[in-house]
Chain A
Amino acid sequence: MTTTAVAPPRAAGPTLRNLRTIRMIWFRELIRLRRMPTRIISSIAQPIIFLLVMGAGIGSLVGDRGAGGVSYQVFIFPGILAMSIITSSLFSAMSIVWDREFGFLREMLVAPVTRGSLVLGKAVGGGTVSVAQGLLLIVFAPFIGVSLNPVRVLGLVIALLLLAFALTALGIVLSSRINRMESFQMVMALVMQPMIFLSGAVFPLTSLPAWLAVLTRLNPATYGVDLCRRVLIPEAPPLTLFGQAVPLWGDAAIILAFGAITLALAVKLFANAE
């Protein structure tokens, strides 16, 4: 046997390797976002239209009534933020379908890292990207009369992160068995629209018919919308569950629990997917 020129690299331990993998996948999502600037524009265009057109249009219809004493435009602002998070988080899982279609997923799947770190990396990466996109909308806050202070912004960032993490995990679950972009978009549209409209993002959940009230409480996004709204607008009426007002930490706990369970399911689905 001839001598090899370079000694085989000392490989890092499994834990370090998996942690670095999570960071690398996270970083990759950011690089890709930066290289596809049109994605940013298209992701914030829709919320802006909703905010300006629907906010002003429906706002003129309802006036100041039924929106917790704030103007309709102010009322939907946190809802629109949450909506943009829902959309971009669910769609961030498209990169998995994309990676599968373009082969890069294979490069990751054959590597000696756990499926858990691949999924976690995607969830953190997708979550970060959608929070970054959502936060771009915050510049509109002063123009429509939502006052900001550091505590509110920090609270909002935490709320958006929780929501983004949970819904990215859901997106990953949905993408785990989808091979084609077309099917992905169809499935996402089916999930996304009820999720947005049943979340309280665009109308208050205080005086709904019973069947609708039940559906909204079953929707995990509802708690994210409530969290965002009450962090930004403390005077907004809280979400009620079984007649009780849900505390802020309750909203956070429900989203976090949903996210953790969904992520565990995502890991399991990917481990079996080969």
Chain B
Amino acid sequence: MRRFGDFTAVDDVSFEVEAGELFGFLGPNGAGKTTTISILCTLQSPSAGTARVAGHDVVTERDQVRRNIGLVFQEITLDDYLTAAENLRFHAVLYGIPPAEVQARMAPLLDMVGLSDRADQQVRFFSGGMKRRLEIARGLLHMPRVLFLDEPTIGLDPQTRTHIWDYVDELRAREQVTMFLTTHYMDEAERCDRIAIIDQGRIVAIDTPTALKASVGADTITLSTHDDELAARELAAEFGLSAEAKGDHLVLRVPDGEAFVPRIFSTLTVGVTSVNVRRPSLDDVFLKYTGRDLRDADSAGSLAANPMVRAFRSGR
């Protein structure tokens, strides 16, 4: 229903997002996430190719697209000297919401983001998390069909991040809003229905988190025993597995780790002191598709989050 057709952002990027889906864009800074989102939000024009959002072309039907999307940017885009309610009213005017309906739309949203009692306070007295919540409420005020969240929790403390995710989950349960998220936090990417991994302007993988992790392959079991050498021989004899000795424990890879653990216990004759099963993480997925660790890729580009570069970018 909501098509994002072919378009060229930094390189060749092509995908579709279903209505009501929470779609994640995962990649290090500078990978092309913001560029892609800017094109979808009609803030930049694609130099080649097309994109449709909520059924409208981002180039030829710009106003239609704009009326159907809500945006929560990386940077705060509130007016500090206006109150929360004034910021929302301003937004309502920009989006042509009839004045008579504004209050009825505003109250439940402020309630949802826990800012009802702060409605008449100037935004400059708000904390970073409160500002972000207000922005999410504002992005929803005109009932968009697609909500774009560009790094919505960047620079926030873990507790506030959890809060914001609670709101997002509640929102998805209540309203049929398609959400398009960019992030470089793995745990946030995990929450998405589907993820596109983007690196150096290209989508290198696109699927559900589970499928992506499955594509990496086996679970990792780490095992400590009283006699690692004997255990390794027994595992090789019984299951044909080659257990790798790493320091004072054994590491082996099996397709379904949790189901395999009981079989280890029933097979081994030596005592097991500890066992740990690890599913492939999105870190592993990222490593597999890009050949780099996300954290390494990120630290190279993390300067891009500083105010200098932000000023440069917002000058567009």
A binds B: yes
| Interface of chain B, main secondary structure | loop
Q: Mask for B80-114, Cβ within 8 A of A = 1, else 0?
A: 11100010011101111110010011001000000
B314 with A179: CB separation less than 8 A: yes
| Cβ-based interface call for B174 (8 A) | yes
Kindly list chain B residues whose C-beta atoms are within 8 Å of the C-beta of A103: 73, 75-78, 314
A111 with B94: CB separation less than 8 A: yes
A32 with B316: CB separation less than 8 A: no
- Determine which of B91, B101, B311 lies in contact with A9 in the assembled complex, contact meaning CB atoms within 8 Å: B101
Closest chain B residue to A8, Cβ basis = B143
Q: Considering the chains assembled together, what is the distance between the CA atoms of A106 and B41 in angstroms?
A: 11
B94 with A101: CB separation less than 8 A: no
- Determine which of A12, A35, A180 lies in contact with B81 in the assembled complex, contact meaning CB atoms within 8 Å: A35
- Determine which of B71, B93, B96, B314 lies in contact with A100 in the assembled complex, contact meaning CB atoms within 8 Å: B314
Kindly list chain A residues whose C-beta atoms are within 8 Å of the C-beta of B97: 9, 11-12
| Cβ-based interface call for A24 (8 A) | yes
A24 with B90: CB separation less than 8 A: yes
Q: Considering the chains assembled together, what is the distance between the CA atoms of A110 and B65 in angstroms?
A: 10
A6 with B90: CB separation less than 8 A: no
| Cβ-based interface call for B33 (8 A) | no
| Cβ-based interface call for B63 (8 A) | yes
B73 with A106: CB separation less than 8 A: yes
Given A21-B94, A112-B66, does the pair A179, B315 have CB atoms closer than 8 Å? yes
Kindly list chain B residues whose C-beta atoms are within 8 Å of the C-beta of A16: 96
B93 with A21: CB separation less than 8 A: yes
A12 with B96: CB separation less than 8 A: yes
Interface residue count on the A side (C-beta < 8 Å)? 41
Q: Considering the chains assembled together, what is the distance between the CA atoms of A114 and B179 in angstroms?
A: 26
Q: Considering the chains assembled together, what is the distance between the CA atoms of A10 and B63 in angstroms?
A: 16
- Determine which of B77, B91, B96, B311 lies in contact with A106 in the assembled complex, contact meaning CB atoms within 8 Å: B77
Given A4-B175, A103-B314, does the pair A35, B122 have CB atoms closer than 8 Å? yes
B95 with A107: CB separation less than 8 A: no
Given A9-B101, A107-B91, does the pair A1, B20 have CB atoms closer than 8 Å? yes
Name the interface residues of A1-25: CB closer than 8 Å to any CB of B.
1-2, 4-6, 8-14, 16-17, 20-21, 23-24
Q: Considering the chains assembled together, what is the distance between the CA atoms of A10 and B99 in angstroms?
A: 11
B94 with A1: CB separation less than 8 A: no
Kindly list chain A residues whose C-beta atoms are within 8 Å of the C-beta of B89: 24
Count of A-B residue pairs with CB < 8 Å: 116
B314 with A107: CB separation less than 8 A: no
Kindly list chain A residues whose C-beta atoms are within 8 Å of the C-beta of B191: none
Name the interface residues of B11-64: CB closer than 8 Å to any CB of A.
19-20, 41-45, 62-64
Closest Cβ of chain B to A81, distance in Å, is 27
B67 with A112: CB separation less than 8 A: yes
Closest Cβ of chain B to A228, distance in Å, is 31
Name the interface residues of B129-170: CB closer than 8 Å to any CB of A.
142-143
Kindly list chain B residues whose C-beta atoms are within 8 Å of the C-beta of A112: 62-64, 66-67, 94-96
| Cβ-based interface call for B283 (8 A) | no
| Cβ-based interface call for B176 (8 A) | yes
Interface residue count on the B side (C-beta < 8 Å)? 47
Kindly list chain B residues whose C-beta atoms are within 8 Å of the C-beta of A113: 94
Closest chain A residue to B65, Cβ basis = A112
A31 with B314: CB separation less than 8 A: no
B43 with A11: CB separation less than 8 A: no
Name the interface residues of B215-243: CB closer than 8 Å to any CB of A.
none
| Cβ-based interface call for B79 (8 A) | yes
Closest Cβ of chain A to B36, distance in Å, is 15
Given A12-B98, A31-B82, A103-B73, does the pair A110, B66 have CB atoms closer than 8 Å? yes
Name the interface residues of A96-117: CB closer than 8 Å to any CB of B.
99-113
| Cβ-based interface call for A28 (8 A) | yes
| Cβ-based interface call for A186 (8 A) | no
B81 with A110: CB separation less than 8 A: no
B73 with A17: CB separation less than 8 A: no
Q: Considering the chains assembled together, what is the distance between the CA atoms of A112 and B315 in angstroms?
A: 20
Kindly list chain A residues whose C-beta atoms are within 8 Å of the C-beta of B316: 274
Q: Considering the chains assembled together, what is the distance between the CA atoms of A20 and B89 in angstroms?
A: 11
B101 with A36: CB separation less than 8 A: no
Closest Cβ of chain A to B40, distance in Å, is 11
Given A35-B81, A103-B77, does the pair A108, B105 have CB atoms closer than 8 Å? no
Kindly list chain B residues whose C-beta atoms are within 8 Å of the C-beta of A107: 77-78, 91, 94
Closest chain B residue to A3, Cβ basis = B176
A9 with B142: CB separation less than 8 A: yes
Q: Considering the chains assembled together, what is the distance between the CA atoms of A105 and B174 in angstroms?
A: 31
Q: Considering the chains assembled together, what is the distance between the CA atoms of A28 and B71 in angstroms?
A: 21
- Determine which of A1, A2, A17, A274 lies in contact with B44 in the assembled complex, contact meaning CB atoms within 8 Å: A274
The 9 closest A-B pairs by CB, nearest first: A111-B94, A103-B77, A17-B96, A179-B315, A12-B96, A112-B66, A11-B96, A24-B93, A112-B63
Sampled A-B contacts (9; CB under 8 Å): A5-B175, A12-B97, A20-B96, A31-B81, A36-B81, A99-B79, A103-B76, A103-B78, A112-B66
Residues of A within 8 A of B (CB): 1-2, 4-6, 8-14, 16-17, 20-21, 23-24, 28, 31-32, 35-36, 99-113, 179-180, 274
* Other contacts beyond A12-B97, A107-B77, A107-B91: 8, CB < 8 A: A1-B20, A9-B105, A103-B75, A103-B76, A104-B79, A106-B77, A107-B78, A274-B45
